[in-house]
Amino acid sequence: MSTDYSTRRSELIKQTQDEMAELCQRALQAGPTLASMANIKTAESPHKVIYREGKMRLLHYKTRLQRTHDTPILIVYALINRYQILDVQDKSMVKSLVDSGFDVYLIDWGTPSDSKSTIDDYVNYYLDAMVDVVRKTSGSEKVSLVGYCMGGTFSAIYTSLHKSKVKNLVTIAPPVDCSKETTVFGTISKHIDIDTIIDNLRNMPPELQHLFFFMLKPFKHHIEKYNQMVDRHEDELFINNSLRAERWLWDTPPISGEVFRQWVKDIYQRNLLIQNSLTVGNNTINLKNIDVPFLNIVAEQDHLVSPESSKALNYAISSKDRTLMSFQTGHVGLCASSYSKKEIWPSVGEWLIDRS
């Protein structure tokens, strides 16, 4: 290696480090400015709250269109961050389903008021109560469950136990076979001492969730994103959309301690669900009990839940009518992107229309 080459290389390394440090500092400085712009309003599809359970709410979406399908849809969101990501302006999954003529309901889990609720409480008490309210309100004996991420896993567990109330099951990127997890979450969960954390902190606090989010795409999501916002600060539409996304990203309620303990230990570490060995209340979950029409939606570029973990559900159930739709997008891109509006939700709508 010539001296010139070696010198040039050293200069480039130094230059790269200086430039990256500047980008990092700039992103860090952008934070407080962005935080002060709190007056960003998120527009949600019109709805009314038809049921409350503690801080949980069941939303019923309004429409001026005639509802043309008999089976109502109940959307089951995850316990991580809030449901508004499913109802993002002009990319709204909720609006897409409402505009397709469905009677749509959604569970807002709210902020947990206790740390003791387990998967059993969430599935057999809260979710079951919400399903019953939807059945009563709509006059339909059965509902179509549409579960996102953790909500997808809960919906599958629910269907295995209460299939008489479920007409169709749609899961979006559900963690199922965690032996196939290769994401940061998957690796972290193998090592985390969840007992010590929950025993001491009671709930899974937002700060720790942010830490794990941060590790997912550190430079693209936490450095370049903020630099883009600084660079494009005069582009009002871009800034408003970005700030809305920021608001969702940092609006993180704690996760109830016991449900998170069981989630990490039984679903991720012991991988009990796919082995039909997960205990929920007095029941052992057997995924073979699921025999309703089933649609599984996965993202090939999902960095939160490995698509292979989700796909396993298609082979674990006994439904004759089962479909796997795989899309070239990421986890959030499945439900809140121009791509999902154009490609995913029309396909899901068609699948549901044929079965509702």
The reply on whether position 196 binds other proteins by CB under 8 A is yes
What number of chain residues touch other proteins (CB under 8 A)?
45
CA distances from 246 to 31, 38, 229 (A): 10, 10, 11
Distance CA 50, CA 133 (A): 8
The reply on whether position 52 binds other proteins by CB under 8 A is no
Sign of the CA dihedral 230, 337, 335, 224?
A: negative
The reply on whether position 211 binds other proteins by CB under 8 A is yes
The reply on whether position 66 binds other proteins by CB under 8 A is no
The reply on whether position 190 binds other proteins by CB under 8 A is yes
The region of 23-31, 146-154, 290-298, 316-324 touching other proteins under the rule CB under 8 A is 23-31
User: Are the beta carbons of 63 and 69 closer than 8 angstroms?
Assistant: no
**Binding residue for other proteins, selected from 208, 243, 325, 353, defined by CB under 8 A:** 208
Sign of the CA dihedral 172, 177, 183, 187?
A: positive
The reply on whether position 192 binds other proteins by CB under 8 A is yes
Question: Phi then psi for 314, rounded to 5 degrees?
Answer: -60, -30
Which of 24, 149, 178, 335 is an active site residue? 149
Distance CA 308, CA 82 (A): 25
The region of 43-51, 214-222, 275-283, 348-356 touching other proteins under the rule CB under 8 A is 214-222
Distance CA 197, CA 83 (A): 26
Size of the chain in residues: 356
178 catalytic? Reply is no
Residue 331 Cα to chain centre, angstroms: 7
The reply on whether position 230 binds other proteins by CB under 8 A is no
The reply on whether position 207 binds other proteins by CB under 8 A is yes
Distance CA 48, CA 26 (A): 42
Q: Which is nearer to other proteins, 133 or 184 (CB)?
A: 184
Interface residues toward other proteins, by CB under 8 A: 5, 8-9, 12-13, 16-17, 19-21, 23-25, 27-28, 31, 182-184, 187-188, 190-193, 196-197, 200-201, 205, 207-208, 210-211, 213-220, 222-224
Task: Give catalytic residue positions.
Answer: 149
